[in-house]
Structure 1
Amino acid sequence: MRILFGTVLFLAALALSGCKTLREPDWLQNPKSVYPEASYLSAVGEGNSRQTAEYAASANLSRIFKSHIEATERLIDVASETETHFSRTTQMSSDINILSEETLINIQHAEAWKDDLGRYHAIAYIDRQKTAAIYQHQIDENSRRVQAFLTYADQADSLLQKHAHLRAAERLANETTLLLQQLKVIHSPTAIAAAPPYSIAALKTALSTNGEKIHVAIHIDGDTNERAEEMLKEMITRYGFTVGEPAVLTLQGDVSFTDSGKRTDDLLFYYFNLTVEVKDQAGRTITTITENGREAVTSTEEALPRFFRTLNKAIQENGPRSLDAYFNSLIEQNR
């Protein structure tokens, strides 16, 4: 009987011990004790599942980059204001934040732990040396492609071809700059060695100068008060081109705003349409900007202002996209 009673107690104790979670890991309160800062970047996160805990750990790891990069950008910005030639560099901060939060390279999730309350805890880390090598390879490859785009731009036989390649070079150079910012946090010596051979400031100047040489003429039928033309001028100017002659590009089209004749008890319905063909110097249509829709208004007096607000929003958003698609297609043709 004593043996049976002792066995029952032993089994009960064993069952109770099985309900307990393992001892809290050392990395939970002090990640650097397990992943030394000299060799790793690390962060801890928690969630209702292992997956959400790992996601939270990755997000917390990205905040290390965000704080480092934002601090660097603020220092550069302050320093630039003291120079005789005033310039600002913090306009890239939003892009840096997005990159640091979404596209960190080589994040590892090694361990997870479940506490007594059922919450999961996970650690994310980056191996500095291994990850620095990956970054350097990507930066070197990007720099090679930027140089190739610049060579194509120098050899281009038209302002449009040159603009397409300068634009592609600038976009890739911006991406490379953001990778370099991350690499400085991961392993500063490698970042210094990976510095690209081109000047991004000179690249941006070349793109801006070439854009100013692209003159654009605008001819819109049905635009009695030239409101649509003014909207298109604003879009073209923001894009970096110049409105005027002799034209490298011509925006030719028509705009209409008509009463549909449809009514409800309290609403009138109007249709609007804008069709603009963007043509090169040879008269070829390279892209088309089309906007159409219906406005529901309470009075005729309300109709035109609503129409122009809707049209302007559409032009400023979709016009640049159409031009972007055209310049991207020029790059694809040369691959």
Structure 2
Amino acid sequence: MGRSRISVLLIAATVLVSACAQKRPDWLSGSSQKYPEATYLSAVAVDTTRQAAVDRARAELAKVFSVQLISRDTASEAAWLSRLDGELAEEYRQVVQNDLIAVTDKILQGVRIAEIWQDEKSGEFYALAVLDRLRMARDLRIRVDELDQQIAEHVRLGDRAESPVRKLSHYMQALEALDRRRPLAADLRIADPSGFVATLPYAPAEVQGRVEEAAAGIHLGIDLEGDRRGIVKGAVVRALAGLGMQLAPSWEQDIVMDGRVEIEEYEAGDPWHWSVASAQLEFREKGGAVVDALRVSVREGSRIAERSRTMALEGLGRQLAVQLVERIASMGIAGP
């Protein structure tokens, strides 16, 4: 083959490669034969650098999913807990949100950058991120099915439990599982081309009703040595009344808060008087079984000494109510 012929072929090949490099990919128009919508979830991003385009494409695909933006207004258990304590409700929301984000982050590890194209005129990079819908749907369905089993099991155990404390514990666990399931089910509807999601074993309203009924059936006993004016006890009762719980005589008590209250006062060289109210106590079920033993303390300050003492004791009472509900909720994790 002559040298001139070889040169012509090399030039032709170079022109062909250049033309292919310039060809605008079909996925920039919103659809792709290679990555069809029925098989892949996709997102496109553009930026001035290759890495920035890649990062933005991944972020855009993540935005499709509801788990990253779990609603703070629809969490059933959080709404119920807010009657007792706003911080406890917020803490619950954060725990659920962190768990859901962890699940989604694991699923989003399947995201890959399928193609990158550079517009030679503008110099900008376009990145296509894709995620296999069927694989994601499978992973989400497994998690949703696990939560459905937990919901059904906790409701079953709650219905069978004789103690209203145990009933409430299991129903709260079921309500939490429902809160975790909601955004995952929404993502499953996006990932699965059929949009199919199994029917809930129990509707949130059904479980919420069981929670309300169980809480209203709990009879409390409060025995706090050192609570001379009953400030701590009164704060506990007021806080738990919002959940329907009520004081009862000893022979009717389902759970007892038994302990000792202490108050310490000091000044820090300023006009403020500081008080630290603390309690060493046990939570016991009917029959004497100890649910937990703990120490709780609350610090408050005021320009008026008596006011600082009262605020510290009232704060301690509210915190004891929170601790009681948290212990009741955790009982359901261990089983019957």
**TM-score category by the smaller chain?**
0.5 to 0.7
Q: Which amino acid aligns with 1:210?
A: A
Structure-1 residue corresponding to 2:178? 173
Using the TM superposition, name which of 301-310 and 215-224 deviates more.
301-310
Structure-1 residue corresponding to 2:231? 227
Using the TM superposition, name which of 210-219 and 262-271 deviates more.
262-271
Structure-2 residue corresponding to 1:42? 42
Q: CA deviation at 1:93?
A: 10
CA distance in 2, matches of 1:46, 1:234: 57
Q: Which amino acid aligns with 2:228?
A: T
Are residue 64 (structure 1) and residue 64 (structure 2) matched? yes
Structure-2 residue corresponding to 1:185? 190
Using the TM superposition, name which of 49-58 and 168-177 deviates more.
49-58
Q: CA deviation at 1:191?
A: 2.3
Sequence identity of aligned pairs in percent? Answer: 18
Q: CA deviation at 1:249?
A: 0.9
TM-score by length of 2: 0.65
Secondary structure of the 2:63 match is: helix
CA distance in 1, matches of 2:227, 2:124: 64
Secondary structure of the 1:189 match is: coil
Structure-2 residue corresponding to 1:138? 143
Are residue 211 (structure 1) and residue 215 (structure 2) matched? yes
CA distance in 2, matches of 1:252, 1:149: 28
Are residue 275 (structure 1) and residue 280 (structure 2) matched? yes
Q: 1:118 to 1:155 in 2, by over 3 A?
A: farther
Secondary structure of the 1:103 match is: helix
CA offsets, 1:285-330, max 9 Å, x none? Answer: 322342126556655255325524653564465443333333433x
Q: How many residues align?
A: 290
Are residue 244 (structure 1) and residue 248 (structure 2) matched? yes
Structure-2 residue corresponding to 1:110? 112
Q: 1:32 to 1:274 in 2, by over 3 A?
A: farther
Aligned pairs for 1:1-335 (under 5 A) are: 26=25, 32-33=31-32, 35-44=35-44, 56-66=56-66, 102-104=102-104, 106-107=107-108, 108-111=110-113, 123-187=128-192, 189-192=194-197, 194-238=198-242, 241-245=245-249, 246-260=252-266, 264=269, 270-292=275-297, 300-301=305-306, 303-308=308-313, 310-311=315-316, 314-315=319-320, 317-329=322-334, 331=335
CA offsets, 1:130-161, max 9 Å, x none? Answer: 32233233323332343333333333343333
List gaps (5 residues or longer) in structure 1: 1-21, 75-91
TM-score by length of 1: 0.65
Q: Which amino acid aligns with 1:195?
A: T
Q: Would you say the 8 A contact 2:38–2:193 is kept in 1?
A: no
CA offsets, 1:226-280, max 9 Å, x none? Answer: 32123212443355533434211122223222335x6536665544212332221
CA distance in 2, matches of 1:234, 1:127: 53
Q: Would you say the 8 A contact 2:300–2:311 is kept in 1?
A: yes
Q: Would you say the 8 A contact 2:43–2:58 is kept in 1?
A: yes
CA distance in 2, matches of 1:318, 1:159: 18
CA offsets, 1:84-126, max 9 Å, x none? Answer: xxxxxxxx99999777755326323322759899998755433
CA distance in 1, matches of 2:321, 2:128: 44
Q: Which amino acid aligns with 1:233?
A: V
CA distance in 2, matches of 1:240, 1:59: 45
List gaps (5 residues or longer) in structure 2: 1-20, 75-91
CA distance in 1, matches of 2:306, 2:175: 46
Q: Would you say the 8 A contact 1:24–1:113 is kept in 2?
A: no
Secondary structure of the 1:191 match is: coil
Higher RCO, Cα 8 Å, sep 6+ = 2
Using the TM superposition, name which of 38-47 and 242-251 deviates more.
38-47
Q: Which amino acid aligns with 1:201?
A: A
Q: 1:134 to 1:152 in 2, by over 3 A?
A: same
Q: Would you say the 8 A contact 1:65–1:100 is kept in 2?
A: no
